[in-house]
């Protein structure tokens, strides 16, 4: 995972393009366009995150992006699904069933919950989507379960960083921006490039 973009200017251009790029003509809904932009951001963000040495797999192993809460978000990666990140194939997985697994007074006692958490721990990046009725309401509990695991967690709701998330998307002047919880990244054994931190709207140290 050492093949990263070295020119910050190039990276900035990519981000500016992602923030203003229109959706395809056939995909003119605001929600879908927003999903596409966030997917482009995540694709580029991975280039500026270093996972711990002990979790680096062989070059033929894929980078796994997990999506929970909104299956449509995983479809936003269609434009980049055939591309590679750091010379590795990308797999996007929608992980369903959290609504049922969470519907318990104590989800930790639910075997379905335990299986879902184990599945999440196989991901390199995990996106919590919350723009539909299947919102993951206890994101803080999920993040707590993943504490210490080298997983880059991303969300799109106010307070996501305070729940322990690492990347959070927000809209500012109708453009997608992001903020970073550097403390959570360190707890997850992830190193975030200074170049990425400089582009963030807010950084929690």
- In this structure, is residue 3 part of a structural domain? no
131-143 average pLDDT score? 66
- In this structure, is residue 83 part of a structural domain? yes
Q: Which residues pair with 171 in a beta bridge?
A: 176
- In this structure, is residue 2 part of a structural domain? no
* Strand extents, DSSP E, the chain: 49-50, 63-68, 84-85, 88-94, 125-128, 152-155, 167-172, 175-181, 191-192, 203-204
Residues 193, 4 contacting (CB under 8 angstroms): yes
Q: Does 75 have pLDDT greater than 90?
A: no
- In this structure, is residue 1 part of a structural domain? no
19-46 average pLDDT score? 70
- In this structure, is residue 34 part of a structural domain? yes
Query: What is the domain range of residue 84?
Result: 8-204
**Which residue is it, tokens 């978000």?**
73
What percentage of the chain reaches a pLDDT higher than 90?
Answer: 33
Confidence band, pLDDT 50/70/90 cuts, at residue 85: confident
Q: Does 1 have pLDDT greater than 60?
A: no
Q: What is the pTM of this model?
A: 0.81
- In this structure, is residue 95 part of a structural domain? yes
- In this structure, is residue 74 part of a structural domain? yes
**Which pLDDT value is given to residue 87?**
81
- 47: domain CATH number is 3.40.50.2300
**Which pLDDT value is given to residue 108?**
62
**Which pLDDT value is given to residue 138?**
72
**CA distance readout (Å), 125 to 36, 51, 53, 104, 141:** 16, 10, 16, 26, 17
- 146-204 pLDDT, tens digit each: 989 999 999 998 889 999 999 999 988 888 899 999 999 999 999 999 999 999 999 99
Q: Does 73 have pLDDT greater than 70?
A: yes
Choice between 85 and 135, residue whose per-residue pLDDT is larger: 85
**Which pLDDT value is given to residue 24?**
43
């Amino acid at each position: 995972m050492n093949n990263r973009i070295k020119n910050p200017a190039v990276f900035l251009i990519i981000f500016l393009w992602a923030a203003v790029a229109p959706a395809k003509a056939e995909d003119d809904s605001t929600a879908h366009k927003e999903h596409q932009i966030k997917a482009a951001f995540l694709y580029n963000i991975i280039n500026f995150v270093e996972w711990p040495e002990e979790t680096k797999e062989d070059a033929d192993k894929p980078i796994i992006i997990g999506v929970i809460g909104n299956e449509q978000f995983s479809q936003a990666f269609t434009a980049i699904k055939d591309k590679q990140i750091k010379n590795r194939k990308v797999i996007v997985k929608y992980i369903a069933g959290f609504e049922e697994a969470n519907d318990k007074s104590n989800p930790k006692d639910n075997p379905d919950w335990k299986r879902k958490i184990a599945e999440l721990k196989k991901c390199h990046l995990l996106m919590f989507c919350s723009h539909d009725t299947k919102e993951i309401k206890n994101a803080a509990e999920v993040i707590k379960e993943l504490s210490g695991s080298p997983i880059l967690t991303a969300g799109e709701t106010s307070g996501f960083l305070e729940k322990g998330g690492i990347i959070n998307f927000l809209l500012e002047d109708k453009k997608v921006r992001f903020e970073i919880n550097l403390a959570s990244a360190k707890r997850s054994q992830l190193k975030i490039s200074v170049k990425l931190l400089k582009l963030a709207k807010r950084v929690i140290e």
